[in-house]
Structure 1
Amino acid sequence: MTKITYIEHDGTEHVVDVKNGLSVMEGAIKNNIPGIDADCGGACACATCHVYVDAAWEDKTGDKSAMEESMLDFAENVEPNSRLSCQIKVSDALDGLVVRMPESQH
């Protein structure tokens, strides 16, 4: 299990253990974390699982695929550290990962 901290737009923190092999989005959904809608169920076909990856973790979450870059065009308030949480696979290397949610997913 990997510990991930999800921070809502208002600053509310949720620290949960997520099974390796799941995506960061799946970890949020399985733990009822508000702020990640995941309308497409993790198919990289929407942008409703948009998160901001904490600067200390950007290098460890991997590169954005062309598809992810394209889907981020549909997200609001995209920043250089924006990612679709469905595209970040959980592993031991991400133990302690911190992600923040935007104000809105729509």
Structure 2
Amino acid sequence: MDVKDYNKLEDPTDEENDMLDLAFGLTETSRLGCQVIAKPELDGVRLALPAATRNFAVDGFVPKPH
């Protein structure tokens, strides 16, 4: 996400920043996708998805294959 669009978002919470610390390929404008709410002022925003992820199971949860 470019800086002008990033600056239209509310600041990330401490909890989001903690999650981002674990993210693959973190950049200065990285955000969790679930925190980027579609609003009219973001019309035309361009997002880049990381080439890889660091998904892991928490508290013994193991997702079912799809």
Mark the structure with the bigger radius of gyration: 2
Q: Same fold (TM over 0.5)?
A: yes
Question: How far off is 1:78 after superposition?
Answer: 0.9
Moved over 3 A (4+): none
Question: How far off is 1:102 after superposition?
Answer: 1.1
Question: How far off is 1:93 after superposition?
Answer: 1.0
Question: How far off is 1:68 after superposition?
Answer: 0.5
* Counterpart for residue 94 of structure 1: 42
Report the AA paired with residue 39 of structure 2. S
> Which has the larger strand fraction?
1
Q: Give the count of matched residue pairs.
A: 54
Distance in 2 separating the partners of 1:54 and 1:100: 9
Unaligned ranges ≥5, structure 2: 55-66
Question: How far off is 1:99 after superposition?
Answer: 0.7
* Counterpart for residue 23 of structure 1: none
Distance in 2 separating the partners of 1:56 and 1:69: 20
* Counterpart for residue 65 of structure 1: 13
The yes-or-no answer on 1:75 pairing with 2:23 is yes
Distance in 1 separating the partners of 2:11 and 2:36: 9
Distance in 1 separating the partners of 2:2 and 2:46: 5
Report the AA paired with residue 62 of structure 1. E
SS in 1 for 2:31: strand
SS in 2 for 1:86: helix
Identical pairs, percent: 31
